[in-house]
Chain A
Amino acid sequence: MNMSKYSIFSLAKQALNFHEGWGKVWRNPEPKKHYDVIIIGGGGHGLATAYYLAKNHGVTNVAVLEKGYIGGGNTGRNTTIVRSNYLWDESAHLYEKSMKLWENLSQDLNFNVMFSQRGVYNLGHSLQDMRDIQRRVNANRLNGIDGEIVDADELKRRIPILNTSRHSRYPVLGASFQPRGGTARHDAVAWGFARGADSLGVDIIQQCEVSGFIRENDRIAGVETNRGNIGAGKVGIVVAGNSSVLADLAGFRLPVTSHPLQALVSEPIKPVLNTVVMSNAVHGYISQSDKGDLVVGAGIDSYNGYGQRGSYTVIENALAAIKELFPVFSRVRMNRQWGGIVDTTPDACPIIGESPVKGVYINCGWGTGGFKATPGSGYVFAHTLAKDQPHELNQAFSLQRFSTGRLIDEHGAAGVAH
């Protein structure tokens, strides 16, 4: 397909045609009989994996199989927050790699992902919260990640609508601030990676659900789908909430449980919040989209669920927290509410690497915070698939860590908010 490069000139040219001449952005091919690599899951992570496989490793005989439509799962359901202020070295390096890719992603993909480095505040509500924040910010800075500690008075100056009263139920004592954090347009991330991968020769096959794995001599040989059997040299499973389902089909177990995670957007209002505010302690996080909607995220529902919806009490709690932090929003009406299925692990860290089945690789367990990692996750997983060994950034995130005991306890930085 002859795909045009987006530029000010192509925009001007199409404007003269009343924007009726824009072509399709990726092909819609029939599956081939065999691929070198099959990626199961056409979300941001899967598409990014395919893109970096083709771009960085020259592996272009690749298919991305998506049971629905691309970006229709968690990629289109998250609250679009991007940050890299994780406590432990392993995760800090992984998320910071992702942050560096974000900073150049629109140029790299020639697709505007609307990455906006408006900063991210993580609030502290108790003295222990503030000590944890100091520790995390110090750890971040030692890892070369930007961060600062902001006290309540300074917070009030920067975010005038934030309630910093000493009399609120959970008073705001301060916050950590990552200036390079922010938000990105979630759909555009899927579309940009899809367009980029497609232009390098990757087949993106939608409405193609994997129902089984084909093995030959203890090695993977392909997958069974609703569009026939497709042969594969290697298979990468990147299916977030459905990871355990695919692992069951492949014949191995995961330490993953799938939970609903809910979010909401309000009616659009005038610009009032120019940054991202998160609070682990009261379970809420909020930003304002470019359209003017307030984007609010809740914590996960406690129970296992695949239903892409959760219980009302959870969003009620999140909105109560938001109202306490921002009394000015008390009369804003919520427009839409939805749930995504997140794959949580015991240590709140992802699993990226080989599986017990030869030729099958898994990238899962991103839990509540996978969106921010989209480019980095694809980058290291592509390396793992191409070289048959992990990149140094995802070495520590193997499935084996659950038997060696070398867990990476990121609950403090990742457990609830993201």
Chain B
Amino acid sequence: MDDAPASTLSALEYDPAPESAALARLRERYGLFVGGAFVEASDGATFETLNPATEEPLAHVARAGDADVAAAVAAARRAYDKVWRKTSGAQRAKYLYRIARLIQERSRELAVLESLDNGKPIRESRDVDVPLAAAYFFYYAGWADKLDHAGFGPDPRPLGVAGQIIPWNFPLLMAAWKLAPALAAGNTCVLKPAETTPLSALALAEILQQAELPDGVVNVVTGDGSTGAALVASPVDKVAFTGSTEVGKLIQRRVAGRPIRLTLELGGKGANIVFDDAPIDEVVEGIVDGIFFNQGHVCCAGSRLLVQESVAEEVLRRLRRRVDQLRVGDPLDKNTDVGAINSAAQLEKIRELTAFGEREGATRYTSPCALPERGYWFAPTVFTDVAQTHRIAREEVFGPVLSVLTFRTPEEAVAKANNTTYGLACGVWSEKGSRTLWVAERLRAGVVWANTYNRFDPASPFGGVRESGFGREGGRHGLEAYLDV
């Protein structure tokens, strides 16, 4: 029964259940959000954002140049000096509560928009990205008038203007992670969304208008890497960046000589450690959640499976069977498990690294699922016979690609898990609490999930150690990044 071929499962396939793209209320053109208004770029430049599932253009978006970034930073500075720093914590809280509610009200629209622009399954944007974005605003709203009690001494001051650069993997959620604590602490913001996923941040800007957040408190500048570089070079008081370790190092270098606070949330190569006493059914679901959630476009993905030798064969057999059942395709289909790869460039990077995996001698297993003809797709893939020196075991693939290694003892598991320059997240699967805590204590990682994986909550600090960055987002700890303490 366990070895039932995929063909017998085809009888159990679901009919398509697509969500309507019209719900996204797409517009043809989107402007920058500066000083409370949507404006064109000063030189009129625009770029296209695509639906990665179809390669069709979704909208034209203004491309912010140096002058536009300067205008946005100036608007944020004015709003800080004239309005926001004088706005009481209780008032700030009420704005944030309004924003949280507006996100909830427009959740269906936001979920569809996110899936169109990013390629992620609607099930995830609907059940994870959007509700969590609202939850982060709701959580930090409550801190805005309680900063005296946050453990940083009496009357902690905000930093001023924050430049915030976010990635394309969770566009709306990352905007919420950045804006909510910054605003609660009393800062004003200039947000730079990723080039391939600008739309949900601009929809959020509309929400800020509906919330009547004072003009200039939040500004959104869309564009490519040069827009982000201009923001980093601006007279801001704080830079917060989520993205690759490579760019993070560049930013750290650029701000080194200046009086700028910096927090970085960078890449990862998370180990998901499975001990032989863990319940295998739950483990298999956890491995799938760890690496195939959001197409593996997750900095904390459990991209290295470390499984105890005695159960490796059984775990892998069941894992392959489960991987075969993952439905890959239309992100707007409510039955889809794995959506589209976000961009052609990312797809190319995944292909390059997986090709290296084969060349370096790892054994590749790829789900036999059918892939749509148009769009950017990559079938869920599991590599076994992986050595710690292989590129697929060392570099962040940022795609639905799992590398499997084995271990015999807890010491060996810890040593292998820590054998990376990253340190973002790890998973531990065991029914033995004392062993789980022993392992968790020794893992060099900012987050450890025990018997679960890829859980996020506004009350829980998230962030890395070592080359996965510094600073925390979420919880009381997340306030520290935006206070002068």
Q: Do A and B come from one complex?
A: no
